[in-house]
Structure 1
Amino acid sequence: MWDGSSNANLPWFKSHKSRVPETDIRDAEAYEFVENGETRPFVSETRTVHKDIAYEDGSTIDWLREEAAERERKRLIGTQRGLHGLLALLQDSAGMWLVIILTGLGIGVVGAWLDVLVKWLGDLREGRCAYGFFYNQVACCSGLDPGEICNEWQSWSQYLGVRSIFGQSLLQAAIYISLSSTSSIQIVFAGSSAVLVKTYAPYAFHTGIPEIKAILSGYVLDAFLGPWVLLIKALGLALAVASGLSLGKEGPLVHVACCWAYLLSRLLRQSGQNEVRKRKLLAAAAAAGVSVAFGSPLGGVLFGLEELDAFFDDGDVMWRGFVTSVIAAVSLQYIDPFGTSKLVLFQVSESGSTWRAFELVPWVFLAVVGGLLGSLLIKLNTAAAVYRRHSVLHDWPIVEVIGFTAITAAISYLVVFLRVQSSELVANLFLECDPAKGDYHGLCNPTATWANIFLLVLTALVKIGFTAWTFGMMIPAGIFLPTIAIGACLGRAVGLITQAWHRAYPNAWIFSSCPPDPTVRCISPGFYAIIGASAMLGGVTRMTISLVVILFELTGALSHVLPIMISVMVSKWVADAFGKDGIYSTWIAMRQYPWLPAREFRDKGQTAAHVMKAASNLVVIHDDGQGCTIKELDELVKRHTYHGFPVLYGDQLLGFVLRDKLRSCIDSMLAEDSNMDRKCTFQPPSRASGSDNSISDLSPLLDEAVLQLRKDVPLELVVNMFQKLNLRHILFSEGGKLTGMVTKTDIVWLLTAGAPHAGALAEKQF
């Protein structure tokens, strides 16, 4: 084994294949250490293929072991000859593609069903269809010309025959508030069932993207993907969005997609016990979730690549994600839940698509505001989450949901733009004024410009407060749509200000590029809303390329891609000045999931000893060659939950044994012989003293090629190795003697120590 060098003469690596025929260890990675033109063994990373060993929830997977197992599975399939081998190969490939296709189809159907249910529940707060109770407003008024009054849709005051203006207002307010609260109560009832809440349903709260990111990086949380979670997430999400709370369905749809793919893989027995294969499937499903949420197949793939770190440098996984996204989007388009023959609700036309250079000034201003408010929203949300965790509200989540829903409903009824669902608000803010399409709450009335500006800014500020508190309550909730709505309100307000300025001073030099004909539109406030939405979303999520593509596919504004890119770029620069982490990374840090950000780390002269846990503080297994008893090992495994233990002979390091391997081996031995005093050793027979057959040989469990470094190596090197190699631990030795150990958890703490409220929600929540 190699003890790592210091700062000078840092090595580079090359990889080749290694086989160890005398054991059950096959086709594992090995590395060579190259220094001064001399090649010598660096690490021979070998892994026994244990297909029957399952990880416990809360642990992290061993990527090298899982990848070796997957290579071995494919090798065994490839060694089969003749027709049987061909059929086995076709079955393996067809099975995975069947899951991919069914995942895309299923998510498209689920997404369409959610859209219809959310729209119907939301419209139910305002009124009902005269000829069918289960028709939403779009379905009830289908077939009418633009701007034509729909007499079939009746408000509750009209349906109940209330004639007086005072009575109508009072009745509408009462029904609006009561139905909003009822939806949340339905969520509470759906989530408070004894079996669902205590066993599965708690994992259905929140967005799910932080957990999906952690799972894709190797965190094991199978309960998060269970069938009950799928059901409660879908139903609860529809009720939560329709309740009028400031939340969206986009993030939770990614969780729903992953749950659906996981369920299919188990039913069709495709992922098996291999965790890497499972994560590649979940990555494709996550892309499909974004595709359905935004109607953005390409954006879904890029979202998985940029935000979820999902594709493992594997082009095949990206291809599967693309196929799943396209199938999901086509399914959604075919069902057409909006009744518009469009993929999403926010598509806008490009009429009057020319933009002028002077508009870059208000757009950059919007980007700066988006970056500032995005950072503010993250800080408010984390502060609310920490307060909730340490207050009495943590013990009364149902009361919190009911109470805050009532507050939201009461305030929303006072602000006209908050009465409708966020999706409807955004759709109208993105549209340009057109007499044929009507006037949304006087938004296009030139005599009410300043009143509309005030209402839009007020709506944005109130929605920031609502979103900061709602995103974290015990209900399914996404943050994409409310963030888009906040930015769209601010963008439309800035657009109206610019338009009013142009109307007041049409001959000013700054407007010299505008058409001289006053009937031709120069300023497009609807596109300012799109710019504001992209800026706000960039400030909250810190996404870049995928965000631009999603907004382009969302709106169809091809000619305005460059302004959107500028807006996202500036908002990210501004937001990064107040912290590099977006909302999802911040929640991961607060929950202390074992997820390593890909950003560069500089050690400022520190060495590995700065974070290393000394050997004297480690739980180790001492093997002097005479053997230890099964009882001692069993007590060790039960007492400590570490994922593995160093094995020492005296003070010399023999290797490292994983806890799950040791646990499985002990259980197998006890199943054959219940004698707890039986001796066992980790030293191979050639090294163990004597040849006593009564001593069980556990040396095949031992990883003798565990990665070892010296404790004086730069800390930056250690962090890079964890990030690049997906390691769970690194041991440190000096002359063969164990000096310490660093785990992935230690590196996570190191990289997230500067995050606001890091670890504040790390305790078990459920």
Structure 2
Amino acid sequence: VQYDLHWFWFEITGFAMIGAIGGLVGHLFTILNTHYQKLKAKWRFLDSHAILEVFVVIVITHIANHPIWFLKMSNNQILKSLFTSCQNIALDGDSDSFRVTKLLCDPRSTGELIKVLSVSVLNKFLLTLITFGVKVPAGLFIPSLTLGACMGRLGGTFIQHLTDAYPNWLLFRECDSTSACVDGAIYAIIGAAAVLAGVTQVSLSLCVVMIELTGGLSHLLPVVVAVLSAKMVANLFGSPSIYDSIVHVNRYPYLDVNIDLDTQKASEFELRAKDIMRTNLHVIKATGTRLVELEGMLACLKFNGFPVVDNLVDQRLV
């Protein structure tokens, strides 16, 4: 999608608000998905019946999307339609594409558009919540973009309605001479970036991705404002990245960035592996270890993986 539309300075406030809402949505998604993953971890039934879980998710997705014609499209199609500007668009035709265009661009369809987008936001939020973490990779990037695009286009519709209803407001006089003051497609891009930033806690690289996606450097500042607002709100609530949360829930081994290290050594690049490694390890000698000793270690310790070394002094791995 290529954008040549101009945005107005009064819209910066709207971009920041959508960014803040995106950060809040990302925070709620991270918290709820983390609790959902913990609940599944306690219920061992799903671990041994992964195919059944995927089947149930497919059925729920079909039931939730089928009654709404807009959600029958794929996420890529929804994104393409929401990211498409209404400038110079024909509103006649009978195909599904014209139906989507009429919904998004015809002023007479504003009421229906608000209903469809509101339901779509709730639908995408709940479905992404239960699909992220299933045994079959369902993705997070595109669903989050779709959720944010629906939310952003909804916000843009409200702002566009305000500019049409109150064109003489001092705030809106900047655009009273143009045919299209507010374009909802720009807000769809802003919302998509904001929600993804709130969920993943990504900032700079996400801005680059969104600019490459739209092909317009003129929207760099709005995207940056929205992404920074989303990240600030998410950090304000103390929300971690969804990926960090999954690491903690699944207890994956990783090197914590908050580990207490000698900052002077670290800043001088003198930090070595032994400075952060433990020395009081439970090891197994390559020779001379008896079976009763191994059984005792397994009975006393909570883990069952041990490094095999040549001796207990040097502890060189075999």
Q: Provide the TM-score with structure 1 as the length reference.
A: 0.35
CA contact under 8 A between 2:145 and 2:196: conserved in structure 1? Answer: yes
Runs of 5+ consecutive residues of structure 2 not aligned to the other structure: 92-97, 263-275, 299-303
Inter-CA distance 418–439: structure 2 relative to 1 (3 Å threshold): closer
Structure 1 vs Structure 2: percent identity of aligned residues? Answer: 33
> Which of 370, 384, 396 is equivalent to 2:49?
396
The CA distance in 2 between the partners of 1:550 and 1:587, in whole Å, is 24
CA contact under 8 A between 1:620 and 1:646: conserved in structure 2? Answer: no
1:469-618 map, 5 Å: 469-517=130-178, 520-598=179-257
Say yes or no: does 1:642 pair with 2:306: yes
1:22-421 map, 5 Å: 348-352=1-5, 354-391=6-43, 392-421=45-74
| Residues 407-438 of structure 1 deviation map (CA, whole Å, 9 limit, x = unaligned) | 21122112232111111001100111142484
Inter-CA distance 367–599: structure 2 relative to 1 (3 Å threshold): farther
Inter-CA distance 556–403: structure 2 relative to 1 (3 Å threshold): same
Structure 2 residue identity aligned to 1:514:
C
Inter-CA distance 566–350: structure 2 relative to 1 (3 Å threshold): same
The CA distance in 2 between the partners of 1:393 and 1:505, in whole Å, is 54
Instruction: Give the aligned partner of residue 435 of structure 1.
Output: 89
Instruction: Give the aligned partner of residue 129 of structure 2.
Output: 468
The CA distance in 1 between the partners of 2:155 and 2:204, in whole Å, is 25
The CA distance in 1 between the partners of 2:191 and 2:260, in whole Å, is 32
Q: CA deviation at 1:629?
A: 8.6
1:745-756 map, 5 Å: none
Q: CA deviation at 1:563?
A: 1.0
The CA distance in 1 between the partners of 2:252 and 2:232, in whole Å, is 26
Inter-CA distance 364–594: structure 2 relative to 1 (3 Å threshold): same
Say yes or no: does 1:619 pair with 2:286: no
Instruction: Give the aligned partner of residue 657 of structure 1.
Output: 316
Q: CA deviation at 1:474?
A: 1.8
The CA distance in 2 between the partners of 1:470 and 1:357, in whole Å, is 39
Inter-CA distance 419–629: structure 2 relative to 1 (3 Å threshold): closer
CA contact under 8 A between 1:620 and 1:647: conserved in structure 2? Answer: no
The CA distance in 1 between the partners of 2:260 and 2:225, in whole Å, is 27
Inter-CA distance 398–445: structure 2 relative to 1 (3 Å threshold): same
Structure 2 residue identity aligned to 1:525:
G
DSSP-derived class of the 1:630 partner: coil
CA contact under 8 A between 1:371 and 1:575: conserved in structure 2? Answer: yes
Inter-CA distance 614–448: structure 2 relative to 1 (3 Å threshold): same
The CA distance in 1 between the partners of 2:33 and 2:256, in whole Å, is 21
Structure 2 residue identity aligned to 1:464:
F
Bigger helix share: 2
Q: Which has the higher contact order (CA 8 A, sep 6+)?
A: 2
Structure 2 residue identity aligned to 1:572:
K
The CA distance in 2 between the partners of 1:469 and 1:475, in whole Å, is 12
Runs of 5+ consecutive residues of structure 1 not aligned to the other structure: 1-347, 604-610, 622-627, 649-653, 662-766
Inter-CA distance 427–597: structure 2 relative to 1 (3 Å threshold): farther
| Residues 79-137 of structure 1 deviation map (CA, whole Å, 9 limit, x = unaligned) | xxxxxxxxxxxxxxxxxxxxxxxxxxxxxxxxxxxxxxxxxxxxxxxxxxxxxxxxxxx
| Residues 19-52 of structure 1 deviation map (CA, whole Å, 9 limit, x = unaligned) | xxxxxxxxxxxxxxxxxxxxxxxxxxxxxxxxxx
The CA distance in 2 between the partners of 1:601 and 1:456, in whole Å, is 47
For the aligned residue pairs, the C-alpha RMSD in angstroms reads 2.9
Instruction: Give the aligned partner of residue 244 of structure 1.
Output: none
Q: Provide the TM-score with structure 2 as the length reference.
A: 0.82
Inter-CA distance 580–595: structure 2 relative to 1 (3 Å threshold): farther
Bigger strand share: 1
CA contact under 8 A between 1:499 and 1:525: conserved in structure 2? Answer: yes
The CA distance in 2 between the partners of 1:613 and 1:555, in whole Å, is 49
Q: CA deviation at 1:634?
A: 8.4
CA contact under 8 A between 1:552 and 1:561: conserved in structure 2? Answer: yes
Q: CA deviation at 1:579?
A: 2.9
| Residues 648-673 of structure 1 deviation map (CA, whole Å, 9 limit, x = unaligned) | 5xxxxx33222xx1xxxxxxxxxxxx
